Amino acid sequence: MAAGSVALAFVAGVLSILSPCVLPILPIVLGAAASEHRWGPLVLATGLAVSFVAIGLFVATIGFSIGLDADIFRDVAAALMIAIGTVLLVPRLQVRLALASAPLANWSDRHLGTTRQGGLGGQLTAGLLLGAVWSPCVGPTLGAASILAAQGRDLGEVAATMLAFGVGAALPLAALGLLSREALLRWRARLMSGRAHAKAFFAIVIVSIGVFVASIVLASGLAFAAGQYGPGVSDTEIKIGNTNPYSGPASTYGTIGKSIAAYFAMINDQGGVNGRKINFISRDDGYSPPKTVEMVRKLVEEDQVLFLFQTLGTPPNSAIRDYLNEQKVPQLFVATGADKWNDPRHFPWTIGWQPSYRIESRIYARYILKQLPGAKIAVLYQNDDFGKDYLIGLREGLGDKADKMIVATQSYETTDATIDSQIVSLQGSGADVVAT
């Protein structure tokens, strides 16, 4: 979807020069830029592209800054795309749009006339101001690109879409700028003759997209009215998935899963959530990542839960994160304090919950420095992200004293039958404080 938006934005940028108040004066503007400097047209085109991108970014992001949610913006976007495409198809509407935006264009034009045009700096400034002058004239294409950009998942996608528009607008100007002034004037007539067909084609594309988005909105509304929801939800039930180690080396943690089940049972006894009962499906993974993957696939593909909640353990959650994000199934409030869960850019469907292990370990380190400044510390840690975060946090908290105060470290696997050998090794280190 992002690649399609970028491509359409690029096409919109290219077609922006076909505006009736832009195309006729392009040869004059580019000819003047070429007479100032060899690279004048290229710098002018760069300034114009930057101006368009800045204006488009403002338009694309302003909706979110005033609190509009994605559904509202999608509905408005569909209507605007249909309206923009209609304007491109109906000449009378284009004239009215140009008349309505004339005061802004005239104001910008007066300020442009007072700007020094000499040198590359002057051409860059001229390009920036031309973007302000021409933005009302290219409103349909610039508006369409802004709407496409606003549907990006993050600021990076928004910027990429608007950058594609800017590049699309700049490339024809840069290419035309390489021609002589006489050649530009000869090409003017040919460009004018083809602009109507190109604009009509782009208008049809924009209207088609708008109608498609509007049909999705309508279909979603009808499905909701008919009581049809996504996986895991009905008028009477909400399915929530979970994995916990009810057996194996970490079975003590299984108490957490039982506590959650008891709480949801209490909620159900009180009437549920808006009349819906919670169906909490918790499966035993034995704290084994391969088993976790198997259980989660069953929860998603067979039980069709709405989301995963409080899946326990750093290694088990690490094993299922990619799968859940690919399936777009929320992995909510994972029961692990590893730092890796705070990565919404790459894993937007995963949300952490408890305090970071590293922060916790730094607190221990500060306590040791204050209360036991001469301590000799032995560290016993689990050999995975869970245990390594504790060791990293302890070193960070001790700072430059870490190497001196930590006299021994030993790791263990969750599958180890005993840790006797590690304890013997730590005992021989002369440590008087054990961190584990």
The number of distinct structural domains making up the chain is 3
Distance CA 33, CA 54 (A): 22
Question: Confidence band (pLDDT; 50, 70, 90) for 91?
Answer: confident
Lowest mean pLDDT among 218-232, 380-394, 399-413: 218-232
Task: Measure CA 194 to chain center.
Answer: 38
Arithmetic mean of pLDDT, 360-373: 95
> Could you identify the residue written with the tokens 């001790």?
398
> Does residue 215 sit in the same domain as residue 78?
yes
Domain ranges, residue 428: 357-435
> What pLDDT score does 73 carry?
46
Is 349 contained in some domain? Answer: no
Check residues 3 and 6 and name the one with the higher pLDDT.
6
Q: Is the pLDDT of residue 119 over 80?
A: no
Q: Are residues 160 and 245 in the same domain?
A: no
Q: Can you tell me the mean pLDDT for 210-217?
A: 65
Place of tokens 């009509």: 200
Looking at per-residue pLDDT, the higher value among 54 and 284 belongs to 284
Last residue of a domain, one of 341, 369, 389: 341
Q: Which two tokens stand for residue 112?
A: 């442009």
327 and 366 part of one domain: no
Is 67 exposed, middle or buried, given 0-12, 13-18 or 19+ CB atoms closer than 10 A?
exposed
Token couple for 280: 């909490």
Residue 244 gets the label, from left (phi > 0), alpha (psi -120 to 50) or beta, of beta
Claim to verify: residue 391 and residue 371 sit in the same structural domain:
yes
pLDDT of residue 229: 75
Q: Are residues 219 and 248 in the same domain?
A: no
**What is the per-residue pLDDT for 1?**
46
DSSP secondary structure string, 133-191? HHTTTTHHHHHHHHHHHHTSSSHHHHHHHHHHHHHHHHHHHHHHHTS-HHHHHHHHHHH
Q: What is the CATH number of the domain that holds 292?
A: 3.40.50.2300
CB atoms within 10 A of CB 280: 21
User: H/E element holding 279?
Assistant: strand 277-284
Residue 143 lies in a domain: yes
95/100 Cα distance (integer angstroms): 9
From residue 198, alpha-carbon distances to 3, 7, 17 in Å are 22, 16, 11
Among residues 225, 259, 290, the one where a domain terminates is 225
Specify the pLDDT at position 286.
95
pLDDT of 40 over the 90 cut? no
- Tens digit of each residue's pLDDT (9 = 90 or more) over 276-303: 999 999 999 999 999 999 999 999 999 9
- Do both 218 and 241 map to the same domain? no
Average pLDDT over residues 146-154: 54
347 occurs within a structural domain: no
Q: Which residue has 């975060």 as its token pair?
A: 389
- Whether residues 388 and 242 fall in one domain: no
pLDDT at 42 over 60: yes
Residue 105 has pLDDT above 70, yes or no: no
CA pair distance 357, 393, nearest whole angstrom? 7
Band of pLDDT at residue 41, cut at 50, 70 and 90: confident
Residue pair 427/398 in contact by the 8 Å Cβ criterion = no
106 and 21 in a common domain: yes
Cα–Cα distance measured from residue 425 to residue 436, given in angstroms and rounded to the nearest whole number: 14
Q: Which of 140-144, 286-290, 380-384 has the lowest mean pLDDT?
A: 140-144
143 vs 249: which has the higher pLDDT: 249
What is the number of alpha carbons within 13 Å of residue 425 lying toward its C-beta? 12
* Helix/strand/coil percentages in the chain, nearest 5: 65, 10, 25
In a domain, 230, yes or no: no
283, 312, 341 - which closes a domain? 341
The answer for 248, left when phi > 0, alpha when psi is -120 to 50, beta otherwise, is: left
Domain assignment of residue 348, yes or no: no
Domain membership of residue 411 (yes or no) is yes
Split at pLDDT 50, 70, 90, the class of 146 is low
Same domain, 8 and 122: yes
Question: What residues contact 264, with CB distance under 8 A and at least 6 apart?
Answer: 240, 278, 280
Of 210, 191, 102, give the one whose Cα is nearest residue 147: 210
Query: Residue 106: in which H helix or E strand, if any?
Result: helix 102-113
Q: Which DSSP category does 356 fall into?
A: P
Q: Residue 111 domain-assigned? A: yes
Q: Is residue 346 part of a domain?
A: no
Residues 136 and 246 in one domain: no
How confident is the model over 21-49, as a mean pLDDT? 67
- Where is average pLDDT lowest: 209-223, 248-262, 271-285, 358-372? 209-223
Specify the pLDDT at position 62.
61
In a shared domain, residues 128 and 221:
yes
d(CA 423, CA 414) in angstroms, rounded, equals 15
The SS3 of residue 265 is helix
Lowest mean pLDDT, pick from 173-177, 356-360, 396-400, 426-430: 173-177
Tally the C-alpha atoms within 13 A of residue 58's C-alpha that lie toward its C-beta. Answer: 7
Same domain flag for 406 and 315: no
Name the average pLDDT for the chain: 78
